[in-house]
């Protein structure tokens, strides 16, 4: 489910056509419930309105905007007579605003703005719909309902004229806990994320320098450089995730997934032939942006209200940072202890980096060119 203004798979492209699309008849009802206030809009097929109200009086098959304007009151009356909203068994009032047009992917629809009030701000919500069912049994009413705890969809049909939605008070603490957990798991089960982390962390204590190895002088500076990298990554991750979840940024999945794979390769190869050592945190920041954008759909899909979304994002990123620090705290001291060991340097750092680079390459090819190996 996507945020309110990016309708769930409804319209992917704007067509300004007005020719009939010869597709089954649907209307699109978007309702937003905010405490006692109702708001939204109802997009209605013009052919459907013509069928119900005989708008095309001269029968020439052409309707113009002025034809709709002259019958505006009838259109609003018809629409309002075919819909009812009840809350806790009490009727909510609904009013129609001025009629407008909207260009959807398969043509121009009439768009009726809706406002209303319910006597109660709690209680189950019941919607009744009956547009066009007496004339066209194939007609469907596609509903998108937005409330505090997210967006829900439904379909009205001749044999399903009533849809009920139970109200649940949004539990901020539970949401926080849930998304913190999501953030932790995001790192824990995101193999590519973990590999990237490993790629960045492994050389924190011992890295290639010229023809030999340089070592971190003490545990504190090792941990400090690790913390810088991890924090830079998380901050960037948070920024990108926030922008993308709010729908302000939308990158194609194929691009972000391929870029994530590319960053993994880079991190791994950087261990073998160090190009970036001292400013690794800047690289981590850039990569964090990419990783964040790549996972944005996870939260964006949940369609939460702005406040809940912010809390969720905060919790999610704290979970991410927490998990990363936990991993770093576990791995880096151990690595520090064995930093002089050849098997650590050649085996784990270099061998591991080669493995990571190889895996990253496989993913890059798969994601960029839609291959499938094995």
Partner 1 sequence: MVLMSPLLPLSLVMLALASTAAARTPYRPDNPERVVMSIQADEQPVLQALRRLDAERRARPADLGATLRYARRAIEAGRQFADPRFMGFAEMALRPFARGDVEAEVRVLQATLAQHRHQFDRALAELAIVLEAEPGHAQARLTRAVIHRVQGRPRDALVDCLALRGGADSLTASTCTASALMAQGKNDDAARLLEPVLAQPMTTDTPSHLWALTVRAELAEARGDADTDTRYQLAIAAADGRDPYLLFAYADFLMERGAWANVRTLLLPHEVLDGALVRLAIAEKHLLAGEEADNTQLRRQFHDRMDLIASRHAELALRGEAPHARDAIRYHLELVDNPEMALTLARDNWTEQREPLDAMLLLDAAMAADRPDARTPVTDWIAATGIADVRLQHRLDTAS
| Binders of partner 1 in range 58-87 (CB under 8 A) | 59-69
Pairing status of strand 26-34 against strand 140-147: parallel
Stretch that binds partner 1, among 7-15, 165-173, 347-355, 357-365 (CB under 8 A): 7-15
Among residues 81, 89, 95, the alpha carbon closest in space to that of 38 is found at: 95
Interface with partner 1, residue 1, by CB under 8 A? no
Contact range with partner 1 by CB under 8 A, out of 102-110, 211-219, 303-311, 332-340 = 102-110
- Helix 280-294 vs helix 191-201: crossing angle, to nearest 10: 180
Site string for partner 1, 221-250 (x = CB under 8 A): ---------------x---x--x---xxxx
Burial class (CB in 10 A: 0-12, 13-18, 19+), 107: middle
* DSSP for residue 122: S
- Nearest approach in angstroms of CB 294 to partner 1 is 11
Nearer to partner 1 by C-beta: 173 or 248? 248
The correct pick among 35, 98, 122, 171 for binding partner 1 (CB under 8 A) is: 98
d(CA 374, CA 369): 15
Q: Which stretch binds partner 1 (CB under 8 A): 57-65, 117-125, 219-227, 323-331?
A: 57-65
CA-based torsion, 44, 50, 56, 57: positive or negative: negative
- Rounded CA-CA distance 288/267 in Å is 12
> By C-beta, is 173 or 275 nearer to partner 1?
275
Q: In angstroms, rounded to a whole number, what is the distance separating the alpha carbons of residues 210 and 318?
A: 37
State the Cα–Cα distance between residues 333 and 226, nearest whole angstrom.
11
| Span near partner 1 by CB under 8 A; candidates 38-46, 220-228, 312-320, 341-349 | 38-46
Count residues contacting partner 1 (CB under 8 A)?
Answer: 83
Question: How many CA within 13 A on the CB side of residue 276?
Answer: 14
* Torsion angles phi and psi, residue 111, rounded to 5: -125, 120
93's CB contacts (< 8 A; 6+ apart) are 116, 117
Residues 103-142 that bind partner 1 (CB under 8 A): 103-106, 108, 110-111, 113, 134-140, 142
Annotate 9-33 with b (16+ C-beta within 10 A) or e (fewer): ebeeeeeeeeeeeeeebbbbbbbbb
How near is the Cβ of 180 to partner 1 at its closest, in Å?
Answer: 25
Phi/psi-derived region of residue 192, left when phi > 0, alpha when psi is between -120 and 50, beta in every other case: alpha
Output the six-digit token pair for 289: 């942006």
Is 264 one of the binding residues for partner 1 (CB under 8 A)? no
| Shortest Cβ 19–partner 1 spacing (Å) | 6
CB of 286 to partner 1, least distance (A): 4
Nearer to partner 1, 184 or 364 (CB): 364
Question: Following DSSP, what letter does each residue of 309-328 receive, concatenated?
Answer: HHHHHHHHHHHHHHHHHHHH
| Closer residue to partner 1, CB minimum distance, 23 or 220 | 23
Nearer to partner 1, 100 or 329 (CB): 100
Question: CB of residue 236 vs partner 1: minimum separation in angstroms?
Answer: 8
In terms of Cα–Cα distance, which of 69, 91, 88 is closest to 80?
Answer: 91
The only residue of 118, 289, 299, 320 in contact with partner 1, by rule CB under 8 A: 289
Task: Give 205 or 290: the residue with its C-beta nearer to partner 1.
Answer: 290
Site for partner 1 in 265-284 (CB under 8 A): 266, 275-276, 279, 282-283
| Least distance (Å) between residue 250 CB and partner 1 | 6
- Shortest reach from residue 356's CB to partner 1, in Å: 17
């Amino acid at each position: 489910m996507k945020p309110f203004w990016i309708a769930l798979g409804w319209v992917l492209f704007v067509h300004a056509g007005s020719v009939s699309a010869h597709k089954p008849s649907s209307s699109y009802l978007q309702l937003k419930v905010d405490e006692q206030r109702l708001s939204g809009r109802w997009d209605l097929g013009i052919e459907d309105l013509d069928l119900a109200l005989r708008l095309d009086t001269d029968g020439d098959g052409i309707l113009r905007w002025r034809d709709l304007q002259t019958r505006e009151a009838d259109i609003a009356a018809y629409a309002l007579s075919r819909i009812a909203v009840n809350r806790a068994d009490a009727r909510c009032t609904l009013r129609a605003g001025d009629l407008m047009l909207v260009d959807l992917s398969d043509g121009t629809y009439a768009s009726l703005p809706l406002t209303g009030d319910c006597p109660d701000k709690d209680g189950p919500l019941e919607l009744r719909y009956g547009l066009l069912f007496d004339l066209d049994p194939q007609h469907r009413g596609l509903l998108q309902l937005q409330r505090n705890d997210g967006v829900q969809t439904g379909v009205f049909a001749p044999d399903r004229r009533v849809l009920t939605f139970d109200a649940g008070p949004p539990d901020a603490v539970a949401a926080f806990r849930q998304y913190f957990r999501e953030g932790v798991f995001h790192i824990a089960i995101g193999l590519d994320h973990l590999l990237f982390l490993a790629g960045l962390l492994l050389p924190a204590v011992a890295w290639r320098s010229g023809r030999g190895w340089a070592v971190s002088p003490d545990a504190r500076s090792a941990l400090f450089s690790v913390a810088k990298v991890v924090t830079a990554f998380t901050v960037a991750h948070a920024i990108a995730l926030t922008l993308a979840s709010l729908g302000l940024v939308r990158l194609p999945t194929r691009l972000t997934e391929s870029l994530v794979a590319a960053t993994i390769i880079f991190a791994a190869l950087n261990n073998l032939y160090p190009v970036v050592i001292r400013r690794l945190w800047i690289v981590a920041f850039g990569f964090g942006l990419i990783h964040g954008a790549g996972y944005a759909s996870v939260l964006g899909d949940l369609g939460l209200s702005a406040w809940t979304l912010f809390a969720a994002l905060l919790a999610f990123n704290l979970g991410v940072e927490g998990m990363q620090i936990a991993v770093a705290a576990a791995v880096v001291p151990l690595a520090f202890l064995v930093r002089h060991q050849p098997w650590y340097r050649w085996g784990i750092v270099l061998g591991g980096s080669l493995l990571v680079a190889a895996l990253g390459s496989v993913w890059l090819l798969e994601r960029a060119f839609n291959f499938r190996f094995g």
